[in-house]
A = this chain, B = another copy of it.
Amino acid sequence: MRIAAMFLAMVLALQSLVGQVTEDKQWEDQFRRLPDPALMRSYMEFMSAHPHHVGSPHGKAVAEWIQQRFTEWGLDARIESYRVLFPTPKERIVEMVAPHSFRAQMREPAVDSDPTSRLQDEHLPTYNAYSVDGDVTAPLVYVNFGVPEDYEDLERMGVSVKGAIVIVRYGRSWRGIKPKLAAEKGALGCIIYSDPQQDGYVQGDVYPDGPFRNKDGVQRGSVMDMPLYPGDPLTPGRPATQDAKRLPKEEVETLTKIPVLPLSYGDAQPLLEALRGPVAPPSWRGGLPITYRVGPGPARVRLAVRSSWDLTTIYDVVGVLKGSVYPSEWIIRGNHHDAWVHGAEDPISGMVSLLEEARALGTLVQSGWKPKRTIIYCAWDGEEQGLLGSTEWVEAHSEELRQNAVLYINSDGYGRGFLGVGGSHSMERFINEVAKDITDPETGLSVWKRSQLKRIADTKNRDDRGTLRNALDLPIGALGSGSDYTAFLDHAGIASLNLGYGGEDDGGIYHSIYDSYAWYTRFSDTSFVYGKTLAQTVGTAVLRLAQSDVLPFRFSNLAVTASRYAVELQALVESMQQEAKEREQELSEGLYEAIDDPRHPALPPTLKDVPPHLNFAPLKNALERLTASAAAYDGLLDRVQKQQEKPASAEGLKRLNQLLVRSERLLTSPDGLGNRPWFKHLLYAPGFYTGYGVKTMPGIREAIEEEEWALAEKEIVRVAKALDALSGLLEQASGELEKLSHTN
């Protein structure tokens, strides 16, 4: 009787599980049929019809319209508002005063075939938000992309930017880094222009003949020092509520130190043409039909910018589907709705895809589906200025999020092509499995397979190709910054994913008035099939996260990736040692004098200290433990899932899942990174001098890069402790899992 009862219980449990799996699969299949390209097109047409930047009438209308849609589809939707500092320009001047005079027009003209380009009165002028006010006149110096190596080159050319205005091209580093570094080097002002080599005629026909940037197109954009902290500059770490305590503007550290304005290449060419001084090195040369020279001067330029520094209201839209079983486990999904101008591609393409996800989920609910966990759909405002909406929201809800947030999934503008994934490596296996179930609309392959073959095609090394061919999971990228996951991942320690499609048809309308419905429906995902695919991809992830009994975190992928970072860091120190020794030898053997051309003289580089050997042992020991505890946990989970034993105890499951939810938090430190405490994650951060680009294990890596050896060793210990804490949690989680599998 006892044995028979046990047998019966097992059969029932299996049936229930198989039934559950089948049912989940059916809901997923139903879900993936729902996103509708025609609706996406109509959403885009409405939202991009007028400029909808922060503080614009249409921006507010878009937020309200999204709230109405969410409500109509059955989400519990509200708008959350914050008051943020948002400068808009009153005066913008770039003029050359010598050797001849020229004034930049800084105007993007209307284009016949693009109706919204005619709304010139509504468009935000071309400018870089959060540039300080200023009016400077100085000799011009061309500094290429304005990254640290460019300044090293410049130094060897004997050219200084001290007291100069720099002209720098977009690309390579995030724009906000360019004036930051220029100011540190003593420049008085900064002009950032779009070189045709990056996204103009060098790449293809220019708008409106083709998708690329024409001579008048300007890339607007924020130059706030977001690697210090994003969000409202006046309320770091706190929500910018109506009555929040605000910093005086003078104390804000995230404004630029020098005035900055962006230019089109039409406006930049006369300035660049007027430079003399050394011919720019080959890698500095862009696509203009000129000899690129560095200066300084004889071009003298006046750069003046003055803004209205107003507080403006931003509108985040939040729509909730409450969980039926685990209401306090939150799956959060977001995309921003604000744009620099019309923003059909950035961000509306991503937004319309998110909307179709939300509508489809609402439809499932109407058909009887119940999310076990709470699903929160968000449409952020003020992303373009500095991730304002998402940052303030995270800061406002930090306690609840810390308790409840399972995962944040972000998207932004997308295009046609290949699935791109960045995020927490504990989600790597999960998102790979999702990608294997989504069909690419151009090839009919799974988007995973298409990605895999693309990576094989892009890989030169034979062994690496072999690894990719045999890979169970394709590695996902680590996240830096540049979209709304930043506050979730880096500030609140919430596991995050950022998903999108792209790689075909890049175009050159980014942050210009030409990023329009007319452009998008002519040159990008014109039939919105990738919008549908993106909705299918993210929606499938949301469904699985909402319904899975055990949250689908896996840690071996994280252990492998973190171990790779440790190897990279050791290799970095070694290569710095070798480079410093090589340079020492080259200086002592007179190499630089020997190769110098007296007609194009270059100064020798400066002697560098040879880095000491660092103690990586704590990190390596922690990684050994993490590797073992992750393997144990993942293996146990595999075994449990393979046996199709259903962990039965709801309480036990909850305890296990609560541990898993906390896992990413353990990778943060409440103190944050040394030079920027808002950033709390110890594995990922945007680079202090690269901006959007990620620095993994940033405390260690940037200490090494800045040659602060004692600090680097402290950071090694700090990361090791965090990994140890995670190992502890995983050991506990394995215990829970073990108990669960026995209580069946």
Which chain A residues have a beta carbon within 8 Å of chain B's beta carbons?
196, 201-206, 210, 279, 285, 287-291, 416-417, 442-443, 445, 449-450, 453-454, 456-457, 462, 465, 504-505, 578, 582, 586, 589-591, 593-600
Interchain CB contact under 8 A, B599 and A504 = yes
How many identical subunits does the complex contain? 2
A457 and B196: CB pair below 8 A?
no
Judge whether A597 and B453 touch: CB under 8 Å.
no
Is B291 touching A456 in the complex (CB atoms < 8 A)? no
Among A291, A454, A457, A590, find the residue whose CB has the most chain B CB atoms closer than 10 A.
Answer: A291
Contact A457 B285 (CB under 8 A): no
Residue of B nearest to A462 (CB): B578
A291→B212 CA distance, assembly (Å): 10
29 A-B pairs with C-beta separation under 8 A: A196-B289, A201-B290, A202-B285, A202-B291, A203-B279, A204-B279, A210-B291, A287-B287, A416-B597, A416-B599, A417-B597, A442-B597, A443-B593, A443-B594, A443-B596, A445-B590, A445-B594, A450-B595, A453-B591, A453-B594, A456-B586, A457-B591, A462-B578, A462-B582, A465-B582, A504-B599, A504-B600, A505-B597, A505-B599
Measured between beta carbons, the chain B residues less than 8 angstroms from A450 are: 594-595
Contact B204 A291 (CB under 8 A): yes
Give the CA-CA distance A23 to B599 in the complex, in Å.
39
Q: How far is the CA of A312 from the CA of B88 in the complex (A)?
A: 76
Q: Given contacts A201-B290, A206-B291, could you give 17 more A-B pairs where the C-beta distance is less than 8 Å?
A: A196-B289, A201-B289, A204-B279, A204-B291, A289-B289, A445-B594, A449-B594, A450-B595, A453-B589, A453-B590, A453-B591, A453-B594, A457-B586, A457-B595, A462-B578, A504-B600, A505-B599
Q: Please, how many angstroms separate the alpha-carbon atoms of A204 and B453 in the complex?
A: 42
Closest A-B pairs by Cβ, 7 of them:
A453-B594, A289-B289, A504-B597, A453-B591, A204-B279, A457-B595, A201-B291
B457 and A291 contacting across the interface, CB-CB below 8 Å: no
Q: Are B416 and A591 in contact (CB under 8 A)?
A: no
Q: Give Cα distance in the complex from A600 to B523, angstroms.
A: 12
Which of chain B's residues have a CB closer than 8 A to the CB of A443? 593-594, 596
Q: How far is the CA of A201 from the CA of B269 in the complex (A)?
A: 14
Closest to A202 in B: B285
Bound form: Cα–Cα A287–B597 in Å: 25
A195 CB to closest chain B CB (Å) equals 12
Smallest CB separation, A196 vs chain B (Å): 7
- Residue of A289, A578, A590, A594 with most chain B CB atoms under a 10 A cut-off: A594
Report the Cα distance A673→B590, complex, angstroms: 46
B-side contacts of A201, CB under 8 Å: 289-291
- Which residue, of A289, A456, A589, has the highest number of chain B Cβ atoms within 10 A? A289
A697 nearest CB across to chain B (Å): 26
Task: For A209, give the chain B residue with the smallest CB separation.
Answer: B291
A268 CB, min distance to chain B CBs, angstroms:
13
**Residues on B with beta carbons closer than 8 Å to the beta carbon of A210:** 291
Q: Which residues of B contact A504 (CB under 8 A)?
A: 597, 599-600
A467 shortest CB reach to chain B, Å = 14
Question: A519–B289 Cα gap in the complex (Å)?
Answer: 23
Partner of A289, one of B203, B287, B453, B586: B287
Closest to A594 in B: B453
Instruction: Determine the chain B residues whose CB is within 8 A of the CB of A203 once the complex forms.
Output: 279, 291
Which of A450, A457, A593, A595 gathers the greatest number of chain B CB atoms within 10 Å?
A595
For the complex, give the distance between the alpha carbons of A586 and B462 in Å.
12
A279 cross-chain contacts in B, Cβ below 8 A: 203-204
Contact partner of A595 (CB less than 8 A), chosen from B289, B454, B505, B589, is B454
CA distance A582 to B582 in the complex (A): 37
* Shortest Cβ distance from residue A117 to the other chain B in the assembled complex, whole angstroms: 21
Interface centre among A202, A204, A445, A462 (most CB of B within 10 A): A202
**Which B residue's beta carbon lies closest to that of A196?**
B289
| Nearest residue, chain B, Cβ from A212 | B291
Residues of B within 8 A of A600 (CB): 504
Bound-complex Cα distance A210 to B290 (A): 13
CA distance A84 to B465 in the complex (A): 56
| Cβ distance A584 to chain B, nearest Cβ, rounded Å | 13
Cβ B288 vs Cβ A289 within 8 A: yes
A281 to chain B, nearest CB (A): 11
The docked-state distance in angstroms from the alpha carbon of A285 to that of B600 is: 27
A590–B440 Cα distance when bound, in Å, is 14
In the complex, A287 Cα to B210 Cα: how many Å? 20
Smallest Cβ-Cβ distance to A591: which chain B residue: B453
A498 to chain B, nearest CB (A): 22
Tell me which residues across on chain B come within 8 A of A456, comparing CB atoms: 586, 591
Q: Which of A449, A453, A590 has the most CB of B within 10 A?
A: A453
Which of the residues B205, B291, B445, B594 comes within 8 Å of A454, measured between beta carbons?
Answer: B594
Nearest-neighbour CB distance to chain B for A742, whole angstroms, equals: 44
A465 to B586, CA, bound (A): 11
Q: Is the Cβ of B289 less than 8 Å from the Cβ of A442?
A: no
Q: Please indicate the chain B residues that have their CB under 8 angstroms from the CB of A590 in the complex.
A: 445, 453
Whole-angstrom distance between the Cβ of A298 and the nearest chain B Cβ: 15
Chain B positions within 8 Å of A598 at CB level: 442
Alpha-carbon separation in the docked complex, A69 to B259 (Å): 68
Q: How far is the CA of A485 from the CA of B442 in the complex (A)?
A: 57
Contacts of A578 in B (CB 8 A): 462
Residue of B nearest to A597 (CB): B504
A453 touches B196 (CB 8 A): no
Bound CA span A291–B203, Å = 7
A590, B456: Cα distance in complex, Å: 11
The smallest beta-carbon distance between A213 and chain B, in angstroms, is 12
When distances are taken between beta carbons in the complex, the residues of chain B under 8 Å from A454 are 594-595
Report the minimum CB–CB distance from A37 to chain B (whole Å).
Answer: 17
Bound together, the chains give a CA A141 to CA B300 distance in angstroms of 44
Residue of B whose beta carbon sits closest to that of A579: B462
Which residues of chain B have C-beta atoms less than 8 A from A597's C-beta? 416-417, 442, 504-505
Docked pose: A595 CA to B594 CA in angstroms: 48
> CB-CB < 8 A to A465: which residues of B?
582
How far is B466's CA from A589's CA once the two chains are assembled, in angstroms?
13
- What is the bound-complex CA distance between A196 and B591, given in angstroms? 32
| Assembled-state Cα–Cα distance A391/B116 (Å) | 70
